Amino acid sequence: MTDSNLFFLCSLIEFIGRRQKLKRSDVVSSMGLKTLRHIYDYADVLHCEPIAKVADEYIDICKLGTSNFDNVAACRYTVPSYWDIGKVYSRLIQDIAERDRYIETLGEVYGSWISDSISNFNTDFFYQPHDYIRECYLEGEVL
């Protein structure tokens, strides 16, 4: 079962990361779990607005600056959409966490090695089946 609030939150993180050229782990740590919980809790309302507008609001609220991490420009192939990447993260989190720990697990996942692997659009890692990505995460390496 897909948690649409978690999917929206993960897609928003990806959107913000691309816009601000930040590693996704930096987006998550800068926003903080309290803000991420708020977005998750109100995603059913927030998703009614254009995602760019919601992103701009949270960029301002969290005072997110810009950096030079541009995995989109570095991609030599078709760039997956922020929705595609949001789906990868939300499935992984749902696969490994109890529903009441989604936000804490989100922080752990984005803060781990796997975030860099998912963000490397020059590999096919993010296209792998979600059970394979889960096993890689649990083993601590690409299998």
Write the pLDDT tens digit of every residue in 113-135.
999 999 999 999 999 999 999 99
Nearest Cα neighbor of 6 from 96, 132, 116 is: 96
pLDDT of residue 142: 86
Provide CB contacts within 8 A for 65, sequence distance 6+: 20
Residue spans of the domains in the chain: they are: 4-139
pLDDT band at 99; cut points 50, 70, 90:
confident
The residue behind tokens 């926003």 is 31
Identity of residue 27: V
Q: How confident is the model at residue 143 (pLDDT cuts 50, 70, 90)?
A: confident
Average pLDDT, stretch 81-94? 97
| Residue 33 CB neighbour total at 10 angstroms | 14
What average pLDDT is seen over the chain?
Answer: 96
Whole-angstrom Cα distance, residue 135 to residue 57? 35
Count of CB atoms situated within 10 Å of the CB of 77: 9
The confidence score (pLDDT) of residue 107 equals 98
Whether 2 contacts 90, CB under 8 Å: yes
Give the Å distances, CA to CA, from 124 to 94, 128, 132: 21, 7, 12
- CA–CA distance, 140 with 65 (Å, rounded to integer): 30
The SS3 assignment for 64 reads coil
pLDDT (0 to 100) of residue 74: 96
pLDDT digits (tens, 9 = 90+) for 18-50: 999 999 999 999 999 999 999 999 999 999 999
Task: Give the predicted TM-score (pTM) of the model.
Answer: 0.96
pLDDT, residue 101, reads 96
